[in-house]
Amino acid sequence: MQWVMAATLICGTSVFTACSNHDDPVIEKGQLLEVYDMQGSAAKARLTVDGKVLFVTDVFVGKNGLGKTGEGDAKTPTGTLHPLTAFGVKPNPGTTMPYIDVTPSIYACDEDCEYYNQIIDTAVVHHPCKGEEMFSYQPQYNYGIATDFNKECIYPNGSAIFIHVKGSKPYTGGCISFDEDRMVEILKNCDMSLVIKISE
């Protein structure tokens, strides 16, 4: 059952709106992850839960900054996103979000096919995927959250916009990366009501 869900995992809703840190009801009650103060591929991130700031930290975004327009542009989208599921090579650290255990047959598909912008188990769907073999992306995919960017899964509008652990490079391919301990903190403190806002 888990991988039936996973086959349609990445399709969700993307709402592009102006991102403001003021007068937002989510800050007062709810879960808000803000990414802001862009400096090239570096940025700040703040997690607020029920009006309490849990942390402010340094993160990395796409190698080419903000303004994602298509597959492979190495840019991070702006606006408002929401989680679809959590995932990880490591076991669930305690999140209540649906959690996918990343094994060697799990891929994030970026090909022009029916599985575009979806996390799939190739052992189940039997697609010879040439996308991201997620298990090989360690430590990046030790823990992560898949967002609902490109809801319609339209090729080549962009795929696999994740929140995940930092790798060895000071940038990502379009995702937002955190130190591993901060990623665990997000997972432990947030559920599917989390709102992710990305702005300059």
Q: What is the pLDDT of residues 25-71, one digit of tens each?
A: 666 679 999 999 999 999 999 999 999 999 999 999 999 999 999 99
β-strands 31-39, 195-198: how paired? parallel
Residue 113: CB partners within 8 Å, gap ≥ 6?
Answer: 127, 155
pTM beyond cutoff 0.75: yes
Q: 12, 149 in Cβ contact below 8 A?
A: yes
What span, in angstroms and rounded, lies between the C-alpha atoms of 55 and 182? 8
Q: Identify which of 65, 68, 59 has the alpha carbon closest to the alpha carbon of residue 160.
A: 68
Average pLDDT, the chain: 90
Local confidence band at 12 (pLDDT 50, 70, 90 cut-offs): very low
Q: Which residues pair with 197 in a beta bridge?
A: 34, 80
